[in-house]
Structure 1
């Protein structure tokens, strides 16, 4: 494939018509066409066309980062990564999409982005047939089939499919947050988190529900919302069996069993199991009652409480018991009622062992041990 070529570049590729000054560079170039990768990593087996590429790759395993940022001291394994990082400080994005105008810091990112317009997905998985726009995305995907996670954190031993995921993970240890919001200066560990945050300021909600049309700022919020239509609740409590649509709601629920209340009111000292409960409580001190009933004028600190209140006016009780037919205004009230049929009592007293079907019943019972009920009776 080499032909003689007059002039300063005597080595000429007949495939793509690129010329080279010396044979060594010509030989390396020809591997682009032949696919030859004679240099293999002894750790993970990844192969490379040049020895220099292998040496750079080895640093992902050794952790060597000889290139440091003079602005924030962040270190990188290659000079090209350092140059890309500098653009997070300068904000420089010299590569723009001719179709939608979105700008990128590297030409490689622009080329990958362009495939979202052409819908070109030339890289297919031989196992499941899923297609990808870049070969790197395909390589990451293949590891979901093999289970191979060659990049390990030397601090906590967590393993990852890609080196980029490992780098993002390291920031959970270092606390590094190199991506700052230009509006409010909040900082984030990843650029994707910053982009999601920016939508709070712009109000952009690019993800719409196909069922009801409600829009969301992130795809994950849309997926969570969609479960309200499907009824899917994949997160179950191992203690009482109640299922939830999100893991965060399950975590909040677990506090009802553990009794943990790690959020403290700075005004009165009351403790709460979740930050959202604390924020709702703080409105009692601030006098903020943002949700008002249009029928009777009663105000509420949360929209959820307002919606429950509205059912007093409408008489709506959409949650019915399949056993006895009794109806309830909320699904949580129905669940508590169902325990009268099943006999389930997931809330035991830690002092005497008596169990109750609802947490409110347990709280009332606890007063018999603390003496609070006795004090009330004496005063009456």
Structure 2
């Protein structure tokens, strides 16, 4: 007992300083363990792969990746995880806890990594560059998705029709066409939409907001796609051509209206009637048939 007391006295009275960071360690064993942080020696090697670790429990955690063992289970659902930290992050989905807050706009996040990615939207930084083209991205995951456009691969196929997609979320969005699902509802008028972006665009009708402005004139638009079409009018671009005559148009809507005139003239049907009862492909087919019969 006296030896133990003497040892405890020696530990407390003679702390060992770290020459690198200045931290005072109470005993030699703590000092040695601390020094591994500055000069990591990876003494623990995985017997399955070539990975090495500075600490035994890190190797133990790593081995679960090989065995598939997931020791940390969620008490609120059936999810299980290899690491305690992963379980902690997952639990926030149930609790709604978001401890990481953006100092610029106040947005909150459940993971520190998500906050770091969000901050890039304020700085405009896009550190992930495509090696094929000049596009850059704020997130590595976005770059990975983009790279698929260069390969042309579309691994996600619709089981109902022949459509295929490069991204899984695009397939999920497409499936709503078949199911008729429209989960996004306007709180003002009750209109529903299959895509959240479509709802956001629709809401601008109620607010009157037109955030997209033309650099050439003073026109403003609620949708970026409408602005794009408008800019083509300044450039004189007319990509929409009538298949029945030589007329060309800058807007698809203008071509559609023009096709109605073919059907109206050949079938003696009013434009209003055509607009109510016929789609573009039907108009083109009917007008083409009437024109060929009249020759």
Same fold per superposition (TM over 0.5)? yes
Name the CA shift for 1:10/1:227 in 2 (closer, same or farther; >3 Å).
closer
Q: Secondary structure at the match of 2:103?
A: coil
Q: Which has the larger radius of gyration?
A: 2
Match of 2:99 in 1: 206
Displacement of 1:130 in angstroms is 10
Give yes or no for the alignment of 1:16 onto 2:4.
Answer: no
Match of 2:115 in 1: 222
1:60-209 superposed matches below 5 A: 126=20, 139=35, 141-143=37-39, 151-160=44-53, 162-209=55-102
The one of 151, 159, 164 equivalent to 1:271 is 164
Inter-partner Cα distance in structure 1 for 2:110 and 2:152:
33
Q: Deviations over 1:212-256 (max 9, x none)?
A: 111111111111111111111111111112111111111111111
Quick check: 2:211–2:220 contact (8 Å CA) kept in 1?
Answer: no
Quick check: 1:125–1:138 contact (8 Å CA) kept in 2?
Answer: no
Inter-partner Cα distance in structure 2 for 1:305 and 1:162:
51
Inter-partner Cα distance in structure 2 for 1:239 and 1:325:
37
Quick check: 1:206–1:216 contact (8 Å CA) kept in 2?
Answer: yes
Match of 1:287 in 2: 180
Inter-partner Cα distance in structure 1 for 2:3 and 2:210:
86
Inter-partner Cα distance in structure 2 for 1:252 and 1:287:
27
Give the root-mean-square deviation of aligned CA atoms: 4.4
Match of 2:211 in 1: 316
Name the CA shift for 1:263/1:172 in 2 (closer, same or farther; >3 Å).
farther
Inter-partner Cα distance in structure 2 for 1:238 and 1:211:
32
Q: TM-score under structure 1 normalisation? A: 0.47
1:37-56 superposed matches below 5 A: none
The one of 119, 125, 129 equivalent to 1:236 is 129
Gaps of 5+ in 1: 1-8, 18-29, 37-122, 338-376
Name the CA shift for 1:32/1:154 in 2 (closer, same or farther; >3 Å).
farther
Inter-partner Cα distance in structure 1 for 2:157 and 2:32:
47
Quick check: 2:64–2:82 contact (8 Å CA) kept in 1?
Answer: yes
Displacement of 1:330 in angstroms is 5.2
Quick check: 1:234–1:243 contact (8 Å CA) kept in 2?
Answer: yes
Name the structure where helix makes up a greater proportion of residues.
Answer: 2
Name the CA shift for 1:33/1:288 in 2 (closer, same or farther; >3 Å).
farther
Inter-partner Cα distance in structure 2 for 1:13 and 1:138:
24
Inter-partner Cα distance in structure 1 for 2:188 and 2:66:
52
Quick check: 1:292–1:306 contact (8 Å CA) kept in 2?
Answer: yes
Q: Deviations over 1:195-223 (max 9, x none)?
A: 11111111111111111111111111111
Gaps of 5+ in 2: 25-29, 232-283, 289-295
Inter-partner Cα distance in structure 1 for 2:136 and 2:219:
22
Inter-partner Cα distance in structure 2 for 1:327 and 1:156:
59
Name the CA shift for 1:10/1:16 in 2 (closer, same or farther; >3 Å).
closer
Inter-partner Cα distance in structure 2 for 1:245 and 1:256:
18
Quick check: 1:308–1:330 contact (8 Å CA) kept in 2?
Answer: no
